[in-house]
Amino acid sequence: MNDLTSDKPQDTIPHVSQWSAFLHAKCPRCRLGSAFTGAMYGFKIQKMKEVCEVCALKFEREPGYFYVSMFVSYAMNVAEIIFLGVAAYVLGLDIIYENLWYFVIIIFTGVLLFSPLNYRYSRMVLLYWLSPGLHYDPSRIKKR
């Protein structure tokens, strides 16, 4: 039994899973509105929207809110660097002094390629799992 307090009929509110909404960078409260403008990889720079167009959630909860996402991005970067270093070793690059610059180039290239992904998902991790009091609430969906 669904106990939604919305005025809308329950059939018209789409159910979106948390993981699907997270992966598609949707609003954590309604899971329908996009949190970013532009694609993750493309010619237009991706930018975080100020407000969700579906439920009017203000994404930046307070001034400087997304500074915390730098710590999440840092953790993601460290995991990617370890992964790239281990992958290079497993694929045949020996750990000797002569191969040092190969490791540096591989890791630096990987960090550059992963930076748009880190930007987007560090903010989404902060919104979805590290923000107290921010939960899925389909009753906040504005009538269209």
What token pair was written down for 106? 């591989």
Q: Give the model's pLDDT for residue 1.
A: 43
Listed as ranges, residues in the chain with pLDDT below 50 are: 1-4, 6, 8
**Helix and strand numbers, DSSP H then E, in the chain:** 3, 2
CB 50 within 8 A of CB 59: yes
Q: Give the model's pLDDT for residue 144.
A: 58
Q: Give the model's pLDDT for residue 129.
A: 92
Q: b/e for 79-96, b at 16 or more Cβ within 10 A?
A: ebbeebbeebeeeeeeee
What secondary structure, in 3-state letters, does 51-88 show? ECCCCCCECCCCCCHHHHHHHHHHHHHHHHHHHHHHHH
Q: Give the model's pLDDT for residue 118.
A: 95
Q: What are 87-128's pLDDT values in tens digits?
A: 999 998 888 888 889 999 999 999 999 999 999 999 999 999
Pairwise CA distance, residues 62 & 56, whole Å: 15
Q: Compute the radius of gyration of the chain from its Cα atoms.
A: 20
